[in-house]
Amino acid sequence: MARIELRNYKKAKSPLGTLMRLFRYFKHCRVILVCAVASILAYCGATIAASYCMRPLVNLLESSSLGMEETYAKYLALLIGLGTLYVLSVVTNYLLNRLMLECSTVIMRHLRTELFAKMQMLPVSYFDENTHGSLMSYFTNDIEATNELLQHSITQMMISVVSLVGIVAMMLVLSMKLFAIMVVLAALVIVAVRITTGISSRSYRAQQKHAAAVNGYIEEMIAGQRDIKVFTHENEVMENFEPINEALRAASTTATTATSVVGPILNNLSHIFYAITCAIGVLWLTGEGTGGVLITFLQYIRQFADRVSQISEQFNSIMLALAGAERIFDVLDRPPEVDEGKVRLKKSGSEYDWIPPEGGPIPLRGDVQFHHVDFSYVAGKPVLQDLSLYAHPGQKIAFVGSTGAGKTTITNLINRFYDIQAGQITYDGIDVRDIKKDDLRRSLGIVLQDTHLFTGTVMENIRYGRLDATDEDCIRAAKIANAHYFISHMPQGYDTVLVSDGANLSQGQRQLVAIARAAVSEAPVLILDEATSSVDTRTEKLIERGLDGLMRGRTVFVIAHRLSTVRNADAILVLENGKVIERGSHADLLEQKGKYYQLYTNMIELS
């Protein structure tokens, strides 16, 4: 896959700054944009010139110096020219819309790619802090709003701006006196636009934020419908939904109201100034051809008002799109996951070595140690306090303890999903912060409690653990995980397609596929986060026998709620309040008659 280049642009501080930053993406379709701008100029020139044709037409009808035949000839020529201009405006209007459509799709492709690539570079903490629905809103609401801006709003804005410039120029040519009236109209328009822009900009940012909250809540509740119905919490769900839904309604109403009042105001102003110009023009203009000048000027006033009205009508979509673009740019401006490691991992045959920037290779043995580690997800709320532990190469280390004791946190720190605030974690004597994150994580095989399977065949999901694994490697891994039997009895065997996170498998079968995925990775160190939590006792025994062969010679970290699954561990660590309160083998801990003894003899399943 080609590497995506993410540029560090200065964060926009205003809607105009966001718009200017968005314009930079037009570099991806320069040729198309140039053709579109040429079409816009031709379209605006044709419409302005068509209006100007009213002057010679009116003057021709008023003139008495020409004969009947000469008048009809010039009249016919003007009509033909006028028709040609209208045909040109129709053709160029189609071209500019088609070209801007093409340009917007190119830009949105790049923007989606850049946003998705940035998501891959963000730390796990970012995804832990945001709901799936909130994250998806960037690719739905915000992207679609931005697309609407690029495809329609900017096109109409360019047409309106170019037309206004041309109309003003023609007004100056026609009459300086009548143009003075337009200056007053322009001043009133600027005041109205500035007031509504400030209000709508803030309101649309709030609307996008509340829309993300609504989407996140809906996504979470839909995913949990089974639990909602089991516990009959439908009414509570609706009660919790109403406040965030009402916040979205209020923000949307404020934003729409602020921008929708501009159109009526500008329309009424245009009617007033149309009447004033007509009345004053009759008094001010004298001499031959004044009728053509006045009628043409009034035509330009009508076009001027229409263009300004079109600009005001675009405020809704423009402010909404800029709020969405600002949210997208906020993600793009987030600092990526920092990786200052320099030690690389190299595989030679079946052996792994750490390759530091200086010195010779260091064999990967799986010696993991925590030295006085302090860690907290939120400042002031420690999860681990002065934690020290060790796992010698080839040892099976089990963590037991109640919820919140820090079991999963320890595994998150080993693979550097999070970084510690104090202390040190070493891997074969190397500080994990000195190891490249990709290489560190490649040395770890992980089976999480919450299994995620991708859309694809069973074989492809197992191969996800090591993309260069052969079919034979995947089948061998499935046999180790005791998944081969049920896979081979599926309709298409290993070619059976899994969809919706493996919805066509039972929870236990999904766990077995995840274990096979870890097995095929051939990682020297394994992390099993309640890997057998979703299987029955018989299947659990089969998995344990398969894992025994997989774990031989590897360092293994096991998080377990069932005490029966950790009895054969080399060392069991009992955690409480982020500290190790007991360590030893199953027999040693029973002999100590401490916390583990109480848990075991009372047959308490930790949760």
CA-based nearest residue to 327, from 192, 215, 218, 197: 215
Helix (H) or strand (E) holding 575: strand 571-576
What is the three-state SS of 260-278? HCHHHHHHHHHHHHHHHHH
Q: Is 93 helix (H, G, I), strand (E, B) or coil?
A: helix
Q: Residue 518 corresponds to which tokens in the numbers above?
A: 């870890």
Using the structure block, give the residue that is written with the tokens 């994150």: 437
Q: Which CATH number fits domain 15-332: 1.20.1560.10, 1.10.287.980, 3.40.190.80, 1.20.1250.20?
A: 1.20.1560.10
CA distances from 9 to 6, 96, 144, 251 (A): 9, 29, 22, 29
Model pLDDT, residue 12? 44
Model pLDDT, residue 7? 43
Category of 557 on φ-ψ map: left (φ > 0), alpha (ψ -120 to 50) or beta? beta
Can you give the length of the chain in residues?
607
CA-based nearest residue to 582, from 593, 566, 569: 593
Displacement of CA 524 from its chain's centroid (Å): 34
Model pLDDT, residue 231? 61
Distance between CA 486 and CA 244 in Å, rounded?
Answer: 45
Model pLDDT, residue 39? 93
Model pLDDT, residue 60? 65
Q: What is the DSSP string of 287-318?
A: STTHHHHHHHHHHHHHHHHHHHHHHHHTHHHH
Distance between CA 517 and CA 474 in Å, rounded?
Answer: 8
CA-based nearest residue to 531, from 449, 408, 465: 449
Distance between CA 267 and CA 280 in Å, rounded?
Answer: 20
Q: Is 333 helix (H, G, I), strand (E, B) or coil?
A: coil
Distance between CA 339 and CA 101 in Å, rounded?
Answer: 40
Domain 369-601 coded CATH 3.40.50.300:
yes
> Any idea where the domains of the chain sit in the sequence?
15-332, 369-601
Displacement of CA 24 from its chain's centroid (Å): 19
Per-10-residue mean pLDDT for the chain, 607 residues long? 40 71 89 92 90 74 62 79 89 92 90 91 85 82 86 86 88 79 71 67 75 79 70 78 87 76 68 71 61 76 77 72 86 88 84 87 90 89 88 87 80 89 93 91 82 87 89 90 88 88 81 86 84 67 67 79 76 87 88 83 55
What count of other Cβ atoms lies within 10 Å of the Cβ of residue 399? 25
Model pLDDT, residue 531? 67
Model pLDDT, residue 495? 92
Q: Do 573 and 398 contact (CB within 8 A), yes or no?
A: yes
- The DSSP 8-state label assigned to residue 603 in this structure reads T
Distance between CA 374 and CA 394 in Å, rounded?
Answer: 26
Q: What is the pTM for the complete model shown?
A: 0.71
